[in-house]
């Protein structure tokens, strides 16, 4: 299988480029007071990353005929939550990392207290953007989107997964425990990105939503399995973050649990499950399928 | 002036008591996974504090005939944002405090990484509660409430005030700089608590809302002036947090800027302004007026 059709590659690059001005617009201008905080927020969220969550939101929006002007703030909101989580995860009391997206992490470039406030403020901004933009046909749907994002980000979602990760460091996890951790830590926000993109549209069905959710769960987990494989195999230069850190820190990973070949097989299995979930959705789900291929076959 | 009529004291105590089961209900149960995070979130938010922001929300709701079942989740949401800010402010990279509400701070009782996630998750939970509960007559009003809370909490509100505070440590602020800091750091969330309580109701007017906002600005600032006076005068035992810390840390305070007598005079002036804003609202604003008295005349 090829990693991407030329057409997909062009779509992805154009969507990634499109996110920059959207994020630049929703982030407070760097000259606004407090300027140091705003500059650091922009440093954390702009010019970096694959924008996987926005891409998933855009692709899911194609299923429900979502207009661009609704998808853009939603894509920004999920990316802001992701950016906040990276800033806090990199702090000395968490993963204590110095490199992210090829740049010094926020607490290294600024300072620890500012990095704490950057993460806090990026999270708040996500909810501000979702509440003040016109992102759905109905206000009730918009409220549901805010609720879904909060559930995905909070203690029963992403932040909870981070806590499970903290507590698991240094001990071997069973495969079910590992999957539970990643369903929260990475999967929840990926799932929310897809559902929120879908809910931007005008044409929903419960059946499609369930099918999308099945896709989202598989691809969310696949994303993390591939992350673990890349961390074990790739170099720091390719990743743009410190490679090989997980095993050094005694972290539970799929590679530790299944071996390198086993982890690759698991990624492939999840990829097939994700692809299978999309089949009945036909051509409208093409971008989502291509994104699934990209997530599993990427090299960084 | 007496600090409170017997009636007000009874109202305040009953409202404070009422918040416990509300918060206990919206916080994830301590046995839910990840249990350590949920136990720590409950430790941070339950059994403590004066609940000033919920009290203000309840009192403002009396102006717009807001039903209790709408006010309770709103009161919980503003208190969760406040609790999150305390947990993060107490962290070693910020104020590095060990005592809060008479108990060890969250990072002392648990650990620093957990405290970080507690703050993150309490903030998320505030937006979850506001989006999933029925808190307003119309979904559009509910969206506006979420937006107001986000604006109050984020980089142009509370978190921004914290950043200004960080940057001001060790240097003398002018009075306008000091007020700007506190309008953000403390005032924004107090103002949001009042506006959100008001918006829970069925009967609004723009004029009343503007008047309330004027009250909110004065009392928000008064709250901080009194905090500074208490920090300079009171003992650690009375405050339930480390007293005299501000001046030790070289923090800009009203007492440093105006002297003790000057700070007290400023508190009294702001109190009068707040009281004056309420006059045309008549008897319906009685609780708000009593709360203003309480905020200015409290001893802890």
- What distance in Å separates residue A196's CA from the closest CA in chain B? 15
Who contacts B2 (Cβ-Cβ below 8 Å, separation ≥6)?
none
Residue B103 DSSP SS3:
strand
Q: Which CATH number fits domain A18-297: 3.40.50.720, 1.10.600.10, 1.25.60.10, 2.30.22.10?
A: 1.10.600.10
pLDDT digits (tens, 9 = 90+) for A40-71: 999 999 988 899 999 999 999 999 999 999 99
Looking at residue B248, what is its pLDDT?
63
- Sketch the domain layout of chain A as residue ranges: 18-297
d(CA A88, CA A114): 11
Residue of B38, B132, B163 with shortest CB distance to A117 = B163
Query: Distance, in angstroms, between A248 CA and closest chain B CA?
Result: 19
Pick one of 1.10.357.10, 1.10.150.120, 3.30.420.40, 1.10.600.10 as the CATH number of B6-297: 1.10.600.10
At B251 the three-state DSSP class reads coil
CB B227 within 8 A of CB B85: no
**With a CB-CB cutoff of 8 Å, which residues 136-155 of chain B face chain A?**
138-140, 142-144, 146-147, 149-151, 153-155
The pLDDT of residue A93: 96
Instruction: Evaluate if residue A162 carries a pLDDT over 90.
Output: yes
Q: Which residue has tokens 């074990």?
A: A232
Query: What does the block give as tokens for A74?
Result: 């939603």
* DSSP-derived secondary structure for chain A: --S--HHHHHHHHHHHHHHHHHHHHHSPPTTSSSHHHHHHHHHHHSS-S--HHHHHHHHHHTTTT--HHHHHHHHHHHHHHHHHHHHHHTSTTTT---EETTEE-HHHHS-HHHHHHHHHHHHHHHHHHHHHS--SSSHHHHHHHHHHHHHHHSTTTHHHHHHHHHHHTTSPPPHHHHHHHHIIIIIHHHHHHHHHHHHTSS---HHHHHHHHHHHHHHHHHHHHHHHHHHHHS-HHHHSS-TTHHHHTT---HHHHHHHHHHHHHHHHHHHHHHHHHGGGGGGGHHHHHHHHHHHH---
| Among the listed residues A293, A292, A166, A126, the one whose alpha carbon sits nearest the alpha carbon of residue A217 | A292
Closest CA of chain A from B182, distance in Å: 13
| pLDDT on residue B146 | 98
Structure tokens at B293: 């008295």
Tell me the per-residue pLDDT of A204-241, one tens digit each, with 9 for 90 and over. Answer: 899 999 999 999 999 999 999 999 999 888 766 666 66
Of residues B121, B146, B163, nearest to A36 (C-beta): B163
- From chain B, pick out residues whose CB is under 8 angstroms from the CB of A143: 131-132, 139, 142-143
**Mean of the per-residue pLDDT values of chain A:** 93
User: Could you give phi then psi for residue B39, rounded to 5 degrees?
Assistant: -60, -40
pLDDT at B238 (0 to 100): 64
Taking contacts as CB-CB distances below 8 angstroms, the residues of chain A near B139 are 138-140, 142-143
| pLDDT for residue A4 is more than 70 | no
Global pTM value: 0.95
| SS3 state of residue B104 | strand
Contact A28 B155 (CB under 8 A): yes
Q: How far is B3 from chain A (nearest CA, A)?
A: 36
**Dihedrals φ, ψ of A46, to 5°?**
-100, 160
Interface check A260 vs B, CB under 8 A: no
What is the reported pLDDT for A187?
Answer: 95
Report DSSP state, residue B200.
Answer: T
Is the per-residue pLDDT at A186 higher than 50?
yes
Q: Which residue has the higher pLDDT, A249 or B111?
A: B111
Nearest Cα of chain A lies from the Cα of B69 at a distance, in angstroms, of 18
What is the rounded CA–CA span in Å between residue A187 and residue A232? 20
- Chain A neighbours among B 77-116 (CB < 8 Å)? 84, 88, 91, 93-94, 111-114, 116
What confidence category does residue A244 fall into, taking pLDDT thresholds of 50, 70 and 90? low
Mutate to test the interface with A, among B89, B96, B124 (most CBs of A within 10 A): B124
Please give the DSSP secondary-structure letter assigned to residue B156.
Answer: T
- Give the tokens for residue B291: 């709360």
Query: In a structure prediction context, what are the per-residue pLDDT tens digits for chain B, which is 300 residues long?
Result: 444 456 999 999 999 999 999 999 999 999 999 999 999 999 999 988 899 999 999 999 999 999 999 999 999 999 999 999 999 999 999 999 999 988 999 999 999 999 999 999 999 999 999 999 999 999 999 999 999 999 999 999 999 999 999 998 878 888 898 999 999 999 999 999 999 999 999 988 999 999 999 999 999 999 999 999 998 887 666 666 666 666 666 778 899 889 999 999 999 999 999 999 999 999 999 999 999 999 999 887
- pLDDT for residue B284: 93
Q: Measured between alpha carbons, how far is A217 from A189 in angstroms, rounded to an integer?
A: 10
User: What letter does residue B99 receive in the DSSP assignment?
Assistant: E
CA torsion A198→A204→A208→A213, rounded to 10°?
Answer: 40
Which residue in chain A has the smallest CA separation from B153?
Answer: A124
The torsion of the CA quartet A103, A108, A109, A114, rounded to 10 degrees, works out to 130
Residue B173 to residues A130, B157, B254, Cα–Cα distance (Å): 36, 19, 9
The answer to whether A43 and A109 are in contact (CB under 8 A) is yes
Chain A residues touching residue B93 (CB < 8 angstroms)? 111-113, 116
β-bridge partners, B100: B103
């Amino acid at each position: 299988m090829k990693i991407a059709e030329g057409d997909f590659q062009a779509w992805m690059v154009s969507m990634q480029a499109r996110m920059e001005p959207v994020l630049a617009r929703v982030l407070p201008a760097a000259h606004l007071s407090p300027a140091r905080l705003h500059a650091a927020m922009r440093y954390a969220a702009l010019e970096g990353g694959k924008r996987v969550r926005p891409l998933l939101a855009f692709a899911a929006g194609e299923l429900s005929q979502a207009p661009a002007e609704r998808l853009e703030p939603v894509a920004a909101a999920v990316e802001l939550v992701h950016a906040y989580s990276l800033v806090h995860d990199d702090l000395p009391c968490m993963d204590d990392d110095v490199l992210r997206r090829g740049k010094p992490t926020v607490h290294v470039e600024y300072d620890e207290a500012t990095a704490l406030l950057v993460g806090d403020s990026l999270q708040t901004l996500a909810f501000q953007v979702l509440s003040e933009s016109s992102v759905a046909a109905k206000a009730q749907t918009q409220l549901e989107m805010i609720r879904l994002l909060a559930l995905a980000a909070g203690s029963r979602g992403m932040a909870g997964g981070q806590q499970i990760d903290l507590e698991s460091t240094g001990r071997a996890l069973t495969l079910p425990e590992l999957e539970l951790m990643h369903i929260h830590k990475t999967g929840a926000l990926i799932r929310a990105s897809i559902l929120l993109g879908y809910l931007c549209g005008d044409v929903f069905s419960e059946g499609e939503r369930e099918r999308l959710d099945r896709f989202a769960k598989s691809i969310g987990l696949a994303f993390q399995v591939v992350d673990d494989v890349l961390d074990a195999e790739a170099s720091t230069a390719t990743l743009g973050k410190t490679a090989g850190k997980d095993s050094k820190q005694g972290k539970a990973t799929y590679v530790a649990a299944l071996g390198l070949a086993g982890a690759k097989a698991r990624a492939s299995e999840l990829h097939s499950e994700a692809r299978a979930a999309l089949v009945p959705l036909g051509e409208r789900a093409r971008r989502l399928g291509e994104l699934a291929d990209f997530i599993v076959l990427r090299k960084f």
